[in-house]
C-alpha cells in the first residue's frame, strides 16, 4: 500500500499555484492520490474529511484518507503509517477514513 503524506494539498500537488482557491487544491490533491491508488495522510481534518465524505456520498472513488491528529507525535504517526502500509492490501481502505493514532 502506498501512502501520500502532506500537511497541505499544495505540498502534495506542487504544480498547483499557492494563490489557487483551497477547494480546488483539495480536489486536485484527492484526485491525484485516487489516480495513483494511494492513501492520503494529512493533518487537515476539517476540509479533507468533508471532501472525502462528499466524494464517497457521490459514488466517486476515494482510496482512503488517514487523518493524523495534531497531538500525534511524528514518530507515532510514522509507526502507524508504516503499519498500515505494511499490513494493508491495495483497495482495502477504499471509501474509508482512518484516524491516527491507531491505538
Find out whether 13 and 30 touch, Cβ atoms under 8 Å. Answer: no
What is the pLDDT at residue 39?
85
28: helix, strand or coil = helix
Q: Kindly provide the b/e burial profile for residues 81-91, where b requires at least 16 CB atoms within 10 angstroms of the residue's own CB.
A: beebeeeeeee
pLDDT, average across residues 50-55? 86
What is the pLDDT at residue 5?
53
What is the pLDDT at residue 24?
62
What is the pLDDT at residue 20?
42
pLDDT, the chain, mean:
77
CA distances from residue 37 to 26, 27, 53, 69 in whole angstroms, order as listed: 16, 15, 17, 23
Q: What pTM was computed for the model?
A: 0.72
pLDDT, average across residues 52-66? 88
Find out whether 5 and 100 touch, Cβ atoms under 8 Å. Answer: no
pLDDT, average across residues 65-88? 89
State pLDDT tens for residues 6-38. Answer: 544 444 444 433 434 556 677 778 888 888 888
Amino acid at each position: 500500500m502506498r501512502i501520500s503524506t502532506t500537511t497541505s494539498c499544495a505540498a502534495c500537488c506542487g504544480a498547483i499555484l499557492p494563490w489557487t482557491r483551497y477547494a480546488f487544491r483539495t480536489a486536485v490533491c484527492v484526485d491525484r492520490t485516487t489516480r495513483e491508488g494511494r492513501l492520503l495522510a494529512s493533518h487537515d481534518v476539517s476540509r479533507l474529511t468533508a471532501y472525502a465524505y462528499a466524494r464517497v456520498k457521490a459514488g466517486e472513488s476515494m482510496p482512503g484518507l488517514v487523518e493524523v491528529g495534531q497531538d500525534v507525535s511524528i514518530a507515532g504517526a510514522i509507526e502507524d503509517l508504516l503499519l498500515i502500509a505494511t499490513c494493508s492490501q491495495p483497495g482495502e481502505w477504499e471509501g474509508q477514513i482512518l484516524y491516527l493514532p491507531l491505538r
